[in-house]
């Protein structure tokens, strides 16, 4: 069982980003020393919040992350060219000594695609084609490619990843069609944080069945999931600490067409958040682990929550919950 942290590097516009990034460095050092297995950054452009870009941020964190895996959770792959992504990712994989995990997704925000001059309806085909081209570039051999979105004429990647044939690739998806496609590719499906327990477990079961049908077994397979985490003396205490901040963070999604974060918040709050006492959290982890999830990536930062509270949350989990799963 592995446990990681999703950095929520989103801040109010006008915030002091130099100070915030310094806090993030110290936070990652603390996560490292507590024994977590991984740390991930997020990716958006033109956000309503000040959102430092993940690749330069993760590059800053390489020397502070110890032996943890470090990666994107997720990178919006359709918004870039595969040559650009291939060399950027290979570079940071070399910098980290082969610890990079490439989490990708197709994106959803209209303004991002419109500003890049990309038809949003092509995002899935662009992501799949870009990933295929990147995997070929990472062989180090000349790549000839003429596809729907990209054309390469015998070019060769100048930087190759340290991990061979390439870094692990996790793919995010929120619907059955996308999850089935990931299963057929034999890639890990990164389950989202904001879904209810039965949805996550039901889709994991279906994903694993389709994955096996495509000829992939479960040996050494990774089944990751994002969850929001607050460990306190009780569920009420956890919501008193972070309830307003987590709701404010999810409220930012409403402007991007996700109205259910407002209309269905009470159900989401009760069924999707890992908020509660150490015993409560251990029971939730055990439940999801029994269904097959084996790499939990927790977010313990939200808008307006002081970094000291986030540190307390990851400390309590590391000291009072994590040891139960490290036997």
Three-class secondary structure of residue 100 per DSSP: strand
State the pLDDT confidence band at 307, using cuts at 50, 70 and 90: very high
* Lowest-confidence pick of 31-40, 166-175, 261-270: 261-270
Tell me, what's the pLDDT at 321?
Answer: 98
Q: Return mean pLDDT, the chain.
A: 95
Q: Work out the angle at residue 26's Cα, subtended by the Cα atoms of residues 85 and 99, and round it to the nearest 5 degrees.
A: 35
Q: Which CATH architecture has domain 2-325?
A: Alpha-Beta Barrel (3.20)
Tell me, what's the pLDDT at 231?
Answer: 98
Give me the residue spans of the domains in the chain: 2-325
The model's pTM: 0.96
Tell me, what's the pLDDT at 257?
Answer: 77
Asked whether the predicted pLDDT for residue 149 surpasses 80, the reply is yes
**Separation between Cα atoms, residue 77 and residue 80, nearest integer Å:** 6
Average pLDDT over residues 160-177: 96
Phi/psi-derived region of residue 66, left when phi > 0, alpha when psi is between -120 and 50, beta in every other case = left
Tell me, what's the pLDDT at 251?
Answer: 85
Asked whether the predicted pLDDT for residue 319 surpasses 70, the reply is yes
Tell me, what's the pLDDT at 263?
Answer: 75
Q: What percent of the chain has pLDDT over 90?
A: 90
Asked whether the predicted pLDDT for residue 267 surpasses 80, the reply is no
State the pLDDT confidence band at 26, using cuts at 50, 70 and 90: very high
Cα dist. 117→88, 113, 326 in Å? 22, 6, 48
Asked whether the predicted pLDDT for residue 168 surpasses 80, the reply is yes
Shortest CA distance to 41 belongs to which of 1, 82, 101, 84?
101
- Rounded (10°) CA dihedral 234, 236, 237, 242: 120
Asked whether the predicted pLDDT for residue 136 surpasses 90, the reply is yes
Average pLDDT over residues 135-163: 98
Asked whether the predicted pLDDT for residue 46 surpasses 90, the reply is yes
pLDDT, one tens digit per residue, over 150-167 is 999 999 999 999 999 999
Tell me, what's the pLDDT at 25?
Answer: 98
Spacing of C-alpha 319 from chain mean position = 24
pLDDT, one tens digit per residue, over 186-204 is 999 999 998 889 999 999 9
Tell me, what's the pLDDT at 269?
Answer: 80
Tell me, what's the pLDDT at 262?
Answer: 79
Tell me, what's the pLDDT at 270?
Answer: 79
Tell me, what's the pLDDT at 260?
Answer: 67
State the pLDDT confidence band at 261, using cuts at 50, 70 and 90: confident
Tell me, what's the pLDDT at 20?
Answer: 97
Asked whether the predicted pLDDT for residue 252 surpasses 90, the reply is no
Average pLDDT over residues 68-72: 98
**Separation between Cα atoms, residue 79 and residue 267, nearest integer Å:** 33
Tell me, what's the pLDDT at 53?
Answer: 98
């Amino acid at each position: 069982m592995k446990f990681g942290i999703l950095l929520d590097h989103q801040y109010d516009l006008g915030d002091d980003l130099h100070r915030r990034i310094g806090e993030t460095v110290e936070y990652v050092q603390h996560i490292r020393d507590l024994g977590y297995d991984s740390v991930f950054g997020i990716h958006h452009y033109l956000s309503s919040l000040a959102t430092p870009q993940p690749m330069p941020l993760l590059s800053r964190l390489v020397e502070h992350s110890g032996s943890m895996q470090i990666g994107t959770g997720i990178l919006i792959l359709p918004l870039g060219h595969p040559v650009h992504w291939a060399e950027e990712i290979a570079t940071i994989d070399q910098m980290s000594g082969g610890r990079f995990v490439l989490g990708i997704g197709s994106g959803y925000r209209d303004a991002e695609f419109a500003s890049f001059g990309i038809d949003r309806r092509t995002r899935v085909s662009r992501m799949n084609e870009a990933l295929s081209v990147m995997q070929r570039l990472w062989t180090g051999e000349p790549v000839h490619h003429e596809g729907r979105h990209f054309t390469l004429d015998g070019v060769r990647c100048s930087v190759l990843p340290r991990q061979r044939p390439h870094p692990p690739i996790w793919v995010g998806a929120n619907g059955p069609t996308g999850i089935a496609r990931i299963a057929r590719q034999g890639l890990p499906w990164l389950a989202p944080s904001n879904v209810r327990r039965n949805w996550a477990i039901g889709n994991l079961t279906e994903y694993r069945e389709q994955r096996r049908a495509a000829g992939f077994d479960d040996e050494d397979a990774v089944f990751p999931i994002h969850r929001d985490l607050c460990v306190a003396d009780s569920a009420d205490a956890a919501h008193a600490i972070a309830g307003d901040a987590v709701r404010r963070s999810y409220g930012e999604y409403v402007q991007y067409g996700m109205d259910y974060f407002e209309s269905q918040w009470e159900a989401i709050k009760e069924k999707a958040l890992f908020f509660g006492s150490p015993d409560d959290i251990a029971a939730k982890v055990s439940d999801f682990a029994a269904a097959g999830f084996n790499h939990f990536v927790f977010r313990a930062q939200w808008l307006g929550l002081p970094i000291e509270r986030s540190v307390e949350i990851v400390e309590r989990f590391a000291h009072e919950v994590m040891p139960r799963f490290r036997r």
